[in-house]
Amino acid sequence: MLPQNLNWISSFLSPGVDTKRYFSCEGGSVPLSCDWGYIKVITANYGRTDHTTCSTGRSLHQLSNVDCFQETSVHVMSKRCDGRKSCSVSAVNSVFSDPCVGTHKYLDVSCLCLPFSKSVTDTHYHSKIGVGNGVIWIHQANYGRRDLVTCPNKLATTPDCYSPQTRNLRSRCNGKKSCQLNASNASFFSDPCPDVHKYLEVMYSCI
């Protein structure tokens, strides 16, 4: 049995793997991208931790709270961006909710580009992932839709359908040489977006 607190990120780090950092003032957006590999969000905060970032044209009152943290920022960024080649997330209250009313906020994100393997299974279909020497480790999984291009369909009407399945698939697949994947509402006990054509997206590696 593999330890659940495995520090898998460190196994990918090398002198050629650099953390990228992105900022956007409230109302803008943060575009993340990887020329090679896939995005893995490391840190994120929608709030304010200093007086100077995104301060132009703002009153002292809007900049005074430098202890403003949105604790769900990493989760929000990860479900939208982990395992993708590129993504763009708006720095707005409607995405993150407002951690400090009256404060002008900004989005601060750091990420890595990591060499995952990727599996996409169209809804109502089955697939299998496997590794050679070693065993499977699931990094990220989502049942829903995060873009309008993957698994094209006339019902692919939104890129914002999230049902994170990382914990579920880790319990089923981690430590195995191969694992069966089923993309269906029944497999994940719910429909995250009725009437939208979904797919199961899984990022994994061999350890």
Same domain membership, residue 147 and residue 131: yes
Same domain membership, residue 109 and residue 23: yes
Same domain membership, residue 99 and residue 124: no
pLDDT of residue 17: 59
Same domain membership, residue 102 and residue 142: no
Residue located via tokens 């479900």: 79
Q: Is residue 193 part of a domain?
A: yes
Over 60: is that where the pLDDT of 9 sits? Answer: no
CATH code at 188?
Answer: 2.60.120.740
What would the pLDDT profile of 68-125 be if each residue is shown by its tens digit?
999 999 999 999 999 999 999 999 999 999 999 999 999 999 999 998 899 999 999 9
Q: Is residue 133 part of a domain?
A: yes
Whole-model pTM above 0.75?
yes
Q: Is residue 6 part of a domain?
A: no
Q: Is residue 12 part of a domain?
A: no
pLDDT of residue 16: 52
Same domain membership, residue 197 and residue 121: yes
pLDDT of residue 59: 96
pLDDT of residue 156: 96
Same domain membership, residue 87 and residue 43: yes
What would the pLDDT profile of 151-206 be if each residue is shown by its tens digit?
999 999 999 999 999 999 999 999 999 999 999 998 887 899 999 999 999 999 99
Same domain membership, residue 42 and residue 110: yes
pLDDT of residue 132: 85
Same domain membership, residue 109 and residue 128: no
What range does the domain containing 92 cover?
Answer: 18-114
Q: Which residues contact 65 (CB under 8 A, 6 or more apart)?
A: 48, 100, 102, 103
Tell me which of 114, 149, 183 is where a domain ends. Answer: 114
What would the pLDDT profile of 11-42 be if each residue is shown by its tens digit?
444 445 578 999 999 999 999 999 989 999 99
- 59 or 16: which leads in pLDDT: 59
What would the pLDDT profile of 161-176 be if each residue is shown by its tens digit?
999 999 999 999 999 9
Q: Is residue 27 part of a domain?
A: yes
Residue 5 confidence class, pLDDT cut points 50, 70, 90: very low
Same domain membership, residue 82 and residue 151: no
